[in-house]
A and B are shown apart, each in its own frame.
Chain A
Amino acid sequence: MSNRARYALMALVIAVVIGAFYFPRLWRRVHELGKPVQTEEQARREIVQPPISTPTDVKVKARMYWAAPGNTGVLAPEDVDLALSADPVQRSRQLVDALILSPPSPEQRTLPADTTLLDFYLLPDGTAIADFADTLATGTPSGILSEQLAIDSITKTLAASVPQVRRLKILLHGQEADTLAGHLDLTGFFPVNTAAVPATLPSANSAPPTATAPVGKPGN
């Protein structure tokens, strides 16, 4: 074997060894690039909002409201097995999280995938305050129909499983917003269970919002 052939063979062996070492890493990187990019809000939710679990959780069939299949612009009820807390605040959080995380199909989604329920309060008079991340506004498709579906999916789902909630106020990052995505008025309260009996003893988690989460009067 000539020297030239020997060098060529050695170079080939070295290339194969390097390739064997590098190829799996390259493959992994290509595979990761194909995955959807995790948004800041999703990463945040994984860190600060692990799935809500309470000692009083009981698995029940919860009636959830997502968009009906076929982009028809109406909501359809769906009974889903969910572990729900006895505490109305935690129960509401679990339901809203399920609305965000578990639609039956992407086309039935009513709330943006990357939005987060930052806080939820329930006042003794049955007024609930849901404070969402800004992504609720930026991720909801603009339009009367889509914005109404988003709100109605929350209010109908809460109405079905949390009888203590009489009406709902929606905040965006602790602030009152004029509209959800340019159309639906967020300055007022949305009726949930109009016949709800006000709670007598709010739970420890039912503290009213502080100055960081103002509940503004309707109007601007």
Chain B
Amino acid sequence: MPTQQPPPTQQQGQPPTTGQQIPLLPTPPAVQQPARPTLNVVVLDPAHGGPDPGARGSSGMNESEIVMDFARSIRAALESEGFRVVQTRSGNDDPSFDDRSAVANAQRGAVFITLHASSTGTAGQVRVYSDLLTGAGGSAAPGGPGFPARNGLLPWDRAQESYLGASRRLAEITQAWVGQKIPGSPSAPLSAPIRQLRTVAAPAIAIEISNVSVNNRDQLIKLAPGLADAVAQATAAFRPIYEGAARF
């Protein structure tokens, strides 16, 4: 409980001297403003890996392999925009959902992008998702501010909750860029309860490429330069929004 400050200080019974400034209110103690966050890290998450191949196409293409190829292109494009890129996996291993989130949650000033490839959907289309929390409250959480709680702690299982608004904004910008670079992709992002995003305490999106059922791997790989450019441009465009935000 803050203690009540005494009234303005002046010698009791003596009028103020002309020209002397008398504080009418107590001067609040200096509060150090937290430094505004700077967006300089992108955590890239090529999904699946190891014993989990993810979606599998009839031609033998695996989601876990194709997203690694996309991650390489996106990483290069992000680094050329001045971002530091951290990957949740670089080889054929399969970190758990929580391990991947832990990589993101250990960063400061980061966004999280998880890369997927579906086994269905219109081939050559790229969709961007933000999370849709489906919690015990029974309806999708509206997102936006409200977290962290007063104690400054985030529940791990719902770490994404306080970033939903920022994530949606990042998804909108990214989907708009993707729509420009990869014709045929939707113009608006989607929301879905995606397990990987739920435990990430940062603006986070999922990008899903359709699809691994195409006959020729090159049909997907040719999307990589456009997608990489779109992600880099969108993340750069999101930077001032991130840094101008009151709190993340």
Contact residues in B for A141 (Cβ distance below 8 Å): 55, 118-120
Closest to A147 in B: B192
The answer to whether A183 and B138 touch across the interface, beta carbons within 8 angstroms, is: no
A41 contacts partner chain B, Cβ-Cβ < 8 Å: no
B210 contacts partner chain A, Cβ-Cβ < 8 Å: yes
- Bound-complex Cα distance A71 to B52 (A): 25
State the interface size on chain A (CB cutoff 8 A): 30
- Bound-complex Cα distance A7 to B198 (A): 83
Binary B-proximity of A197-220 (CB < 8 A = 1, otherwise 0): 000000000000000000001111
The answer to whether A188 and B133 touch across the interface, beta carbons within 8 angstroms, is: yes
A-B pair number, CB within 8 angstroms: 106
The answer to whether A182 and B52 touch across the interface, beta carbons within 8 angstroms, is: yes
The answer to whether A73 and B121 touch across the interface, beta carbons within 8 angstroms, is: yes
| Choice from B47, B118, B135, B155 contacting A146 with Cβ under 8 Å | B118
Smallest CB separation, A184 vs chain B (Å): 6
- Bound-complex Cα distance A142 to B223 (A): 21
Do A143 and B118 form a contact, CB below 8 Å, given A182-B48, A218-B136? Answer: yes
Do A191 and B119 form a contact, CB below 8 Å, given A141-B55, A142-B56, A144-B208? Answer: no
The answer to whether B119 and A142 touch across the interface, beta carbons within 8 angstroms, is: yes
Interface size class, chain B: 35 or more
A97 contacts partner chain B, Cβ-Cβ < 8 Å: no
B181 contacts partner chain A, Cβ-Cβ < 8 Å: no
The answer to whether B118 and A188 touch across the interface, beta carbons within 8 angstroms, is: no
Binary A-proximity of B134-173 (CB < 8 A = 1, otherwise 0): 1110111000000000000001111000000000000000
Contact residues in A for B158 (Cβ distance below 8 Å): 218-219
Smallest CB separation, A150 vs chain B (Å): 10
The answer to whether A189 and B138 touch across the interface, beta carbons within 8 angstroms, is: yes
- Bound-complex Cα distance A149 to B117 (A): 16
Closest to B56 in A: A142
Q: Which residues of B pack against A, CB within 8 Å?
A: 47-48, 52, 54-56, 63, 97, 116-122, 125, 127, 129, 133-136, 138-140, 155-158, 190, 192-196, 198, 206, 208, 210-211
